[in-house]
Amino acid sequence: MADKQRKREENLYQNLSEQIEKIFKTNKRQSFAGKERFIAGCQDFAKHLAQNYGSQNFKNIRDQHLLSYVEASANRGLSKSAITTNLSAIRKLHELMPKKKHELAIQNKDLNIPQTEKNHLNTDRAWTDNEYDQALEEAQEMDRDDVVQAMQLGRHFGMRIEEATALHSNQLQRALKNGFVELHNTKGGIARDVPLETTTQREIVQHMLQKNDKGRLFIQHNRTHAQAKRRIQDWLKNNRPKFQKDTSFNRDDSREKSDLTFHGLRHSYTRTGYYENLNQGMNKKEARKDVSRNLGHGRDSVTYAYL
């Protein structure tokens, strides 16, 4: 019975997700990065609708669904800013949706969105080398080149998943020539360059080009960008118990060990770069600033949280 219910929820979610992508593709005024963020926010809402309401069509959403979603999001620890952004995405989707049955009258101030406690400094999100190696081994055994390559880009280049899955072979070819990877599909739409400095980085780029030297590296065979990201994220979630054994406390300090996610690879990348900078004679502030540029962050406090 549980398997049947789960399958039904998956089908409902897939149907809602297809509606989301179809609607946002018709919106020509929004940037690619903006669309991707809004699609992700609406997909998070779609999961809630599929699991709690059995919804089949976004035309039927109403205020009560937003109230329920905000409460559920806060209970699972989603930050206030993330919830607010997702609500903006949902409202944009509703605005673009033809023949909707209800108007969304409720405002954010009426939703009582809680301010989440800032406990990120007490949580260890970084992957250990052993966890990373075991995950790569699992993905290789399952012939999941997309997972292997995306993880390598996250761990050794500090890329976000949407930056990795948007890569084109031309970017990697230029990287070998120019010594840096140009990233355009970035958070906030601010382009940045990631230095190509190590032998490992060059080997990763060369191997990826051997696999595909023409066109998009992850978006192919009628697979959308959102689907490429979701396939990788789902693999990490479903196979996490195979490579993460301990989710309690870090043995080195009192920080709680969180479930491993793709974003945690950026934490590992940050720490590696930071300590390498210290070993090369930089002071702590200089070391953080250098890593911050590669991450695409302008605030030292954000980089400090990664460390």
CATH number of the domain bearing residue 91: 1.10.150
* Final residue in a domain of this structure, among 88, 117, 146: 117
Domain assignment present for residue 39? The answer is: yes
Domain assignment present for residue 124? The answer is: no
Is the whole model's pTM more than 0.85, yes or no? no
Is the pLDDT at 252 greater than 70? The verdict is no
Instruction: Kindly state whether residues 201 and 256 are assigned to the same domain.
Output: yes
CA torsion 191-290-258-39 (nearest 10°) is -10
So what's the pLDDT on residue 251?
A: 43
* Final residue in a domain of this structure, among 65, 82, 117: 117
CA distance 120 to 103: 37
So what's the pLDDT on residue 118?
A: 47
Say how many domains are in the chain. 2
In this structure, what token pair is assigned to residue 262?
């793709």
Confidence of residue 248 (pLDDT cuts 50, 70, 90): very low
Query: What range defines the domain where residue 70 resides?
Result: 2-117
Instruction: Kindly state whether residues 103 and 181 are assigned to the same domain.
Output: no
Is the pLDDT at 134 greater than 90? The verdict is yes
Could you give the residue ranges of the DSSP H alpha helices within 142-283? 145-157, 161-165, 169-178, 199-211, 225-243, 264-279
Instruction: Kindly state whether residues 216 and 168 are assigned to the same domain.
Output: yes
122-139 mean pLDDT:
89
* Final residue in a domain of this structure, among 92, 117, 142: 117
So what's the pLDDT on residue 210?
A: 94
Identify the residue with better confidence: 173 or 108: 173
So what's the pLDDT on residue 30?
A: 56
Instruction: Kindly state whether residues 189 and 108 are assigned to the same domain.
Output: no
Domain assignment present for residue 101? The answer is: yes
Pairing mode, strands 180-183 and 256-257: unpaired
The candidate with the shortest Cα–Cα distance to 201, out of 168, 166, 154, is 154
Instruction: Kindly state whether residues 86 and 206 are assigned to the same domain.
Output: no
71-97 mean pLDDT:
84
CATH number for 242: 1.10.443.10
Domain assignment present for residue 122? The answer is: no
Instruction: Kindly state whether residues 187 and 263 are assigned to the same domain.
Output: yes
Is the pLDDT at 259 greater than 90? The verdict is no
* Per-residue model confidence as pLDDT tens digits over 178-232: 999 998 877 766 678 999 999 999 999 999 999 888 888 998 767 787 888 889 9
- Taking the CB of residue 167, how many other CB atoms lie within 10 A of it? 27
* Per-residue model confidence as pLDDT tens digits over 40-50: 888 889 988 98
Give residues with Cβ within 8 angstroms of 13, minimum separation 6: 46, 47, 50
Domain assignment present for residue 123? The answer is: no
* Per-residue model confidence as pLDDT tens digits over 5-30: 778 888 888 898 888 888 887 766 65
Instruction: Kindly state whether residues 280 and 134 are assigned to the same domain.
Output: yes
Q: What percent of the chain has pLDDT over 70?
A: 84
* Per-residue model confidence as pLDDT tens digits over 48-73: 898 888 888 888 888 899 988 888 88
Instruction: Kindly state whether residues 202 and 112 are assigned to the same domain.
Output: no
Confidence of residue 153 (pLDDT cuts 50, 70, 90): very high
Is the pLDDT at 275 greater than 70? The verdict is yes
Instruction: Kindly state whether residues 295 and 152 are assigned to the same domain.
Output: yes
